[in-house]
Chain A
Amino acid sequence: MSAHNSQAVERYRNDFLREVEERVEEGQWVKMCMQCGVCAGSCPFGPHWQHSPQKLFMMIRAGKRQEVLSSDSMWMCTSCYNCVVRCPRQLPITHIMHGLASYAHRLGLAPKSQPTREFATMFWNNLAKKGRVNELKLTLALYFKDGLVSGIKTALGMQSIGLGMVKAKRLNPMEILGGHGLKDLKGFHAIIAKAREIEDKKKGLVS
């Protein structure tokens, strides 16, 4: 169990709803859910969620902390916002799903090799490095995440697409050498570090 997780368990005891309200992005909305299920029926990846947003909201209120935070479900969110615009109570469901996933990730409770967790982490680290996304490095990082052999296999399978993109001038092999980046990278990094520091302090995630 991570130190952040033990600390959270200690602090909130059995009040998981309060934990979500205080620490999860837009978590204060969870108690507003009236269990109509429109979100579940509106999700493009609906069939792949073990627990729909509606169920997750009820589980939070029932104090099912471990089941919610280790769930694979919220990682199925494609950020399409269909649930948000259809929710009769106008809950920002997309953000609550992001918030739950991100919190579970932070506590080390999210499923380990969940592919969207891995990709989302790679994406942020990629953009945070130079201030802009390096599409080539992001793609390669994704292909080679499970090691060299499977990476080469995936890359070969996608070869015709990759070459097509290069030919259409929509992928630059030279990006491997650096690619686009910010002039004031130092300032950009300082902003992220400061923002993280403030957020961690506020959410009690300081070790």
Chain B
Amino acid sequence: MAKKEYAFYPGCSSQLKASASNYLTSVNSMCKTLDVKLTEIPDWNCCGASIGYAEGGELPRIAINARNFALAETHLPGQDIVATCAACWLGARESKDRLDENSVLMKETNEALAAAGLHYKAEVKVRHMVEVLIEDFGYDELKKPVKKPLEGVKFAGYVGCQTNRPFGIAGESFENPKYLDKMVETLGGEPVESYDQKVTCCGGALAFSEPDKSQKQIRDIVESAYDHGAEMIVTPCPLCQANVEVYQSEINKKQGTKFNMPVLYYSQLMSVAYGGSMKDAGLDGQLIRATRLEEIAKK
């Protein structure tokens, strides 16, 4: 039996051939080493993300999140829901908090769920994978399986917004969270602690609707990583990852910069440090190749 089991909420972007499919690949590899069993919530649906607000309204958004909770309670009783995507975690956690605090909302939500024969009992806990790693394992435990320390590689820990605010990771500050730096250190890498854009917004969904305004944010995030001597950026959020990696070529084209900064997930670093191959770590999913990590993976 696996050491720890969770009801897994991968989210839309982690699905096969979706924009963060390599995140899922590396999470699976990391969890195998840590003996964690993730069971997908059967037939889970989208959380609505933040940007769903305009058309979604309040109750429909909360109700679709509650559908996932009800499915988890029914099929995976007693297991915490774990999300890997920042937006999924936030959307779910926010919905859960509001339901738990407001009995009217709870009644209305269950009335909506009843239309599909479901019921939310408010038993489930909603957590982010990073919380699981830090709280259920801890840095010392995470260090034990390290086979290939990421020696000499400098990482800028880009935490972004939604894994950090409004909930964040217990014990961390909103302005200067340190857990990514600590994780990098745990894996034998070198955290760039002076990186000053770690909680800057990448534009989020507005990278699509307001590209110029968002690309200004992304430029700051990448430029500061270069200025502080980082070789790679590491993040816990799939939208941060995609925005900051994908638009570098656009910014180069428009603004004459020469950005070529790899942007990785914490789980990819862990997979490599735990002895995973390039493929296990999803490094073949990078648009900007993380050459130095590939070299470590091949060692």
The answer to the question of A172 belonging to the interface, with a C-beta cut-off of 8 Å to chain B, is yes
Interface size on A, residues (CB 8 A): 65
B173 to A, closest residue via Cβ: A85
Count class of interface residues, chain B = 35 or more
Inter-chain contact B209/A116, CB cutoff 8 Å:
yes
Contact string, A165-185, partner B, CB cutoff 8 A, digits 1/0?
Answer: 100111110010000101110
Inter-chain contact A198/B112, CB cutoff 8 Å:
yes
Inter-chain contact B161/A131, CB cutoff 8 Å:
no
The answer to the question of A196 belonging to the interface, with a C-beta cut-off of 8 Å to chain B, is yes
Inter-chain contact A123/B59, CB cutoff 8 Å:
no
B108 to A, closest residue via Cβ: A198
| Nearest CB in chain B: distance from A194 CB, A | 4
Q: How many CB-defined contacts (below 8 Å) exist between A and B?
A: 220
A185–B122 alpha-carbon span in the complex (Å): 23
Given A191-B67, A192-B64, A198-B111 in contact, is the A120-B52 Cβ separation under 8 Å?
Answer: yes
| Nearest CB in chain B: distance from A70 CB, A | 15
Inter-chain contact A105/B54, CB cutoff 8 Å:
yes
A145–B214 alpha-carbon span in the complex (Å): 20
| Nearest CB in chain B: distance from A130 CB, A | 9
Q: Which of A3-11, A56-64, A73-81 contacts B (4 or more CB under 8 A)?
A: A73-81
Given A78-B206, A198-B108 in contact, is the A133-B54 Cβ separation under 8 Å?
Answer: no
Inter-chain contact A79/B63, CB cutoff 8 Å:
no
Chain A positions within 8 Å of B157 at CB level = none
Chain B positions within 8 Å of A198 at CB level = 59, 108, 111-112
Given A48-B213, A135-B12, A165-B19 in contact, is the A195-B206 Cβ separation under 8 Å?
Answer: no
The answer to the question of A132 belonging to the interface, with a C-beta cut-off of 8 Å to chain B, is yes
A143 to B, closest residue via Cβ: B208
The answer to the question of A204 belonging to the interface, with a C-beta cut-off of 8 Å to chain B, is no
Ordered by A's residue number, 16 sampled pairs between the chains whose C-beta atoms are within 8 Å are A85-B165, A102-B53, A102-B58, A120-B209, A121-B54, A133-B12, A135-B19, A165-B19, A172-B18, A184-B116, A188-B45, A191-B67, A192-B60, A192-B64, A192-B112, A202-B108
Interface residues of B (CB under 8 A from A): 12-13, 15-22, 43, 45-46, 48-60, 62-64, 67, 108-109, 111-118, 161-162, 165-166, 174, 199-201, 203-206, 208-210, 213-214, 217, 246, 249-250, 284-287
